[in-house]
Structure 1
Amino acid sequence: MDLESHSAPARGLRRYIRLVEDALGLTGQGSYVQLETPVSAYIALNGQLPGFADRDVALIWDEEHGWAGAVESRCGEDLLVLAYLGDRILPPPRVVAAFAERLFAGELPGPPEPPALRQAHAADDLPVLLAEYAEPARALTGLARV
Structure 2
Amino acid sequence: MPLLETNFELTRALRAYTAAVGSACGAGPESCTVDAGTPASAYIALDGRLPRYPDRDVALIWDERFGWAMAVETHSAEDLLVVAYLGHDLLARPAKVARFAANVLAGRPGLLEPPRLREAGAHDWLTDRLRPYVTELLKAS
TM-score w.r.t. the length of structure 1 is 0.82
Note the C-alpha offset of 1:4. 1.5
> Higher helix share goes to which structure?
2
Distance 1:55 1:17 in 2: 22
Compared with structure 1, are the counterparts of its residues 123 and 19 closer, same or farther at alpha carbon in structure 2 (3 Å cutoff)? Answer: closer
Structure 1 residue runs without a partner (length 5+): 139-146
Choose 1 or 2 for highest CA Rg.
1
User: Which letter does structure 2 place at the counterpart of 1:113?
Assistant: E
Structure 1 residue 21: deviation in Å? 1.1
Alignment of 1:26 with 2:34, yes or no, is no
User: How far does the alpha carbon of each residue in 1:12-51 deviate from its partner, in whole angstroms, 9 at most, with x for none?
Assistant: 2111111111111122222210011110000001121112
Match of 1:106 in 2: 107
Distance in 2 (alpha carbons) for counterparts of 1:39 and 1:123? 8
| In 1, Cα distance between equivalents of 2:43 and 2:112 | 18
Find the aligned partners of 2:22 and 2:59 in 1 and give their Cα distance: 11
**Alignment correspondent of 1:14:** 15
CA distance in 2, matches of 1:122, 1:4: 11
Deviation at 1:103, TM superposition (A): 1.0
Query: What is the deviation of 1:74?
Result: 3.6
3-state SS of the aligned residue for 1:91? coil
**TM-score of the two chains, using structure 2 as the length reference:** 0.85
> Does the CA-based 8 Å contact 2:49-2:55 persist in structure 1?
yes
Give the match for residue 126 of structure 1. 126
1:73-96 Cα distance to aligned partner (Å, 9 max, x none):
243531110110011110000000
Matched with 1:72 is 73
Q: Percent same amino acid among aligned pairs?
A: 48
How much has 1:71 moved relative to structure 2?
A: 0.4
Partner Cα separation in structure 2 for residue 70 and residue 76 of structure 1: 14
Contact map agreement 1:10 1:131 (CA 8 A) in 2: no
